């Protein structure tokens, strides 16, 4: 009797093990099918997509220097990005991606500053020194970006990508005006030049901006449909927008832009 009970118990264990194995295989197969349903999963899996989106952000010092006492206004003005990406899956979840994207982006800010080193034009006179008062800055950049990303599929429909990018500026602007304050020529204790709102001084540093910028990008993609993806990404510049020998603005300004949009898969 005991022997028969042992045999029955062993049969139950074996049956249970078989059921677990079958269920595990079925779940695994279904999971694999879901990954294949939402994109290429094999080593021969090449893909192409067209991206278009909206860009928002600006150029900023990191961290904010003590010369900038407060940000009164910030207008990102927006921008556009569009381009093509090509990707290759190395396995079911990992892949690499590269692209060529056009972008046009800008911003304007108004800030209260103190002892802010500036080079300004007032009438026909060029003055350089430390300004205290209100500063309005306008920035615009347009060009092409070449990203090189590692891509990881978190789930069949969600993926994250990250990696470096290199940008070339076709057009760049950095200009503005200062008012409601004064400039100390030469140094913080130099001759004082008053500048009021009715007769602001201006500056234009567009010709001092770099042509080549580089940084890192982090982004997320979500497959809304078989051929349609919604995306969000952050581009964080690693080198300042001005040439290294430009000293009028004595701290680095880095491009920092977020973008959201839609991509079509082929």
> Domain with 145 in it: what CATH number?
2.40.160.20
What is the token pair recorded at 123? 């009438």
User: Same domain, yes or no, for 203 and 133?
Assistant: yes
* Whether residues 75 and 175 fall in one domain: yes
β-pair type (79-89, 192-195): unpaired
Place 37 in a pLDDT band, splitting at 50, 70 and 90.
low
Mean pLDDT of the chain: 85
Residues 137 and 161 in one domain: yes
Residue reference for tokens 């701290």: 251
Are both 3 and 131 inside the same structural domain?
Answer: no
Higher-pLDDT residue of 104, 156: 104
Name the CA radius of gyration of the chain, rounded: 28
- Same domain (yes/no): 56, 164: yes
Under 8 Å between Cβ of 257 and 234 = yes
**Which letter does DSSP use for residue 10 in this model?**
H
The neighbour count for residue 223, using CB atoms within 10 Å, is: 20
Q: pLDDT band at residue 18, thresholds of 50, 70 and 90? A: very low
What is the token pair recorded at 155? 């789930």
What pLDDT sits at residue 38?
63
Placement of tokens 């200062």 in the chain: 178
Do 25 and 124 reside in the same domain of the chain?
Answer: no
Of 86, 79, 212, nearest to 145 by C-alpha is 212
Examine the domain organization and report whether 214 and 243 are in the same domain: yes
Is 160's pLDDT higher than 90?
yes
6/87 same-domain check = no
Q: Is residue 61's pLDDT more than 70?
A: yes
Q: Do 5 and 31 belong together in one domain?
A: yes
Above pLDDT 90, what percent of the chain? 59
pLDDT at 44 over 80: no
Give 172-186 pLDDT, tens digit per residue.
999 999 999 999 998
Instruction: Identify whether residues 3 and 109 lie together within a single domain.
Output: no
**pLDDT at site 86:** 93
pTM score: 0.80
Segments forming the whole domain that contains residue 120: 42-265
Q: Are residues 199 and 67 in the same domain?
A: yes
Q: How many domains does the chain contain in total?
A: 2
Q: What is the pLDDT of residue 157?
A: 87
């Amino acid at each position: 009797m005991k022997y028969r009970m042992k045999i029955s118990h062993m049969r139950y264990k074996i049956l249970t093990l078989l059921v677990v194995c079958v269920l595990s295989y079925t779940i695994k197969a279904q999971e694999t099918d879901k990954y294949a349903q939402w994109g290429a999963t094999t080593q021969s899996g090449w893909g192409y997509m067209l991206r278009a989106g909206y860009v928002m952000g600006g150029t900023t010092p990191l961290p904010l220097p003590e010369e900038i006492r407060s940000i009164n206004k910030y207008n990102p003005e927006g921008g556009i990005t569009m381009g093509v990406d090509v990707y290759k899956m190395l396995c079911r979840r990992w892949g690499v991606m590269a692209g060529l994207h056009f972008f046009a982006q800008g911003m304007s800010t108004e800030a209260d500053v103190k002892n802010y080193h500036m080079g300004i034009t007032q009438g026909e006179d060029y003055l350089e020194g430390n300004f205290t008062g209100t500063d309005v800055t306008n920035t615009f950049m347009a060009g092409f970006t070449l990203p090189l990303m590692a891509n990881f599929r978190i789930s069949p429909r969600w993926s994250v990508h990250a990696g470096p990018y290199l940008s070339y500026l076709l057009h760049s602007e950095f200009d503005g005006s200062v008012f409601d304050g004064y400039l100390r020529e030469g140094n913080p204790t130099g001759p004082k030049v008053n500048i009021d709102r009715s007769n602001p001084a201006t500056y234009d540093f567009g010709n001092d901006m770099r042509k080549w910028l580089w940084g890192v990008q982090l982004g997320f993609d979500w497959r809304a449909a078989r051929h349609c993806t919604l995306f969000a990404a952050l581009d964080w510049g690693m080198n300042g927008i001005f040439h290294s020998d430009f000293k009028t603005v004595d701290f680095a300004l880095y491009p920092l832009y977020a973008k959201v949009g839609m991509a079509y898969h082929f």
